[in-house]
Amino acid sequence: MYTVSTNNSSYKIEKENDTWKLNGENISIDQIQISETNYHIIKDNKTYDVDVIKFNKEDKTALIKVDGTKYELKIADKFDELLRIWGMDNLAAKKKVNIKAPMPGLVLNILVEDGTVVLKGDALIVLEAMKMENILKSPTDGTVKRFR
């Protein structure tokens, strides 16, 4: 099942085999793909010309044009709904991350300064523990606020 939101409206869409459901009710849809981004759809004996103008797979958003009218869509599947229920839907939101050494050791080198913009995986600190050097890396994109 997918939840498709546009403007202030939200729709639940399901497809099982050849049966479509819109908000729990069976609907009759025939579609023909004209090109990679153009579809001809017949719903309840009415025809629609649908063009997919832009589709962002990562954000699950789309900009479509139906019979000349543009719509911005936000698409969510069952996994997105589970993440929302568990409170994990905003993992990309701005948050504080404290980085802690995995074991006691001696700091050999601090590779960044306060205010440095870092990307996920950038080296931050060189730590010596048990006669081995370990590099602590950034777990996310962000800005170094301060060292303690």
Give 8-31 pLDDT, tens digit per residue. 889 999 988 878 889 989 888 888
Choose between 86 and 69: higher pLDDT: 69
User: Are 117 and 67 in the same domain?
Assistant: no
Nearest to 112 by CA among 137, 132, 140: 137
Judge if 55 and 117 occupy the same domain: no
pLDDT, tens digit, 9 for 90 and up, residues 88-97:
666 555 566 7
Running DSSP on this structure, what letter comes out for residue 96? -
* Structural domain total, the chain: 2
| pLDDT, tens digit, 9 for 90 and up, residues 84-132 | 777 666 655 556 678 888 888 899 999 999 888 888 889 999 999 888 8
- Does one domain contain both 68 and 132? no
**Residue 92 resides in a domain:** no
- CA 84-85-89 angle, 5° bins: 20
- 59 & 123 share domain: no
User: Are 24 and 64 contained in the same domain?
Assistant: yes
Determine, yes or no, domain membership for 90.
no
Residues 39 and 68 in one domain: yes
CATH of the domain at 123: 2.40.50.100
Range of the domain at 22: 2-85
- Both 116 and 46 in one domain: the answer is no
In a domain, 58, yes or no: yes
| Phi and psi, residue 57, nearest 5° | -65, -40
Query: Is 74 in the same domain as 116?
Result: no
Residues 56, 23 share a domain = yes
Q: Is residue 91 part of a domain?
A: no
Domain match, 50 and 119 both: no
Model confidence, pTM: 0.54
User: Which pLDDT score, from 0 to 100, does residue 47 have?
Assistant: 94
CA distance 29 to 46: 10
Would you report the helix, strand and coil content of the chain in percent, each value rounded to 5?
A: 5, 55, 40
Asked whether residue 81 falls in the same domain as residue 116, the answer is no
Share of the chain above pLDDT 90, in %: 38
